[in-house]
Amino acid sequence: MSGYIPRLIAAGDKRISYSIRRTVNRAVKNQSVQVHGFVFDLDGTLTLPVLDFAELRRRLQCPNGVDILTFCHSKSGKDKEKAFHVVEEFEEEGRQNTKLQPGVCELLKFLTQCGLKRALITRNLQLSVDQLFHLLGDPDNYGGPFTHSLTRDFTPTKPDPASLLYICKQWGVHPKSVVMVGDQLQDIQCGKNAGSVTILLNDSKNGEFKKQADFNVDSLDAVISLITSKEMFVVDREDAITDQLT
């Protein structure tokens, strides 16, 4: 991984861009799009996955296929309070075991060196965000502070694209020039719904929706390899979708 940073900077071109590829009347057309920022999920993306959502569903008696936060919000009064108390206890257990994903500081610093903005969207509490930045340490270690860190207090939450679109508006950029990185289906859906590029960080539990992401990587190191390769960083889009992004 370390070989990519000196090579890119030495070339005097820190810009990161990807190509949108589409086929029109059997002719392949490419559109180059400059990337202006990256937005990350938290648990399982910037940190190692420690939350067992199957266990949380069991504790809540939340059916498979039903969004956990939606399930909690569907309750009222004491039942709603109890449900969110279960979620918060579960998240606290996770915070006790939180560890950084390998390569996270290197990737974040690399993005800053490329002039890219960075932000975070999580369905967790602010306490989990605070724990992340505690583990990251001095901002100089990871290229400086994030511009935004949105928790589930920002509604509607992922997979709704509202949080991502809000960040894009704050940045003053089109969603197509932003990359969403996550390990859960709602991360990919959030990015897709906004019109952004999506990268899924593979793990042993998310194989069933790999095809829904634009790109799959096995590590954060691989993100650098991907975005610095003109041959690899190519997105296939249907004509209608591409027209909407133009």
User: Could you give the 3-state DSSP secondary structure of residue 246?
Assistant: coil
DSSP 140: G
As a whole number of angstroms, the distance between CA 142 and CA 38 comes to 14
φ and ψ at residue 186, rounded to 5 degrees: -65, -25
Give me the active site residues, please. 41, 43
* Cα–Cα distance list, 164 to 51, 120, 172, 230 (Å): 23, 9, 12, 25
As a whole number of angstroms, the distance between CA 149 and CA 121 comes to 6
Per the CB < 8 A criterion, the answer to whether 216 and 240 are in contact is no
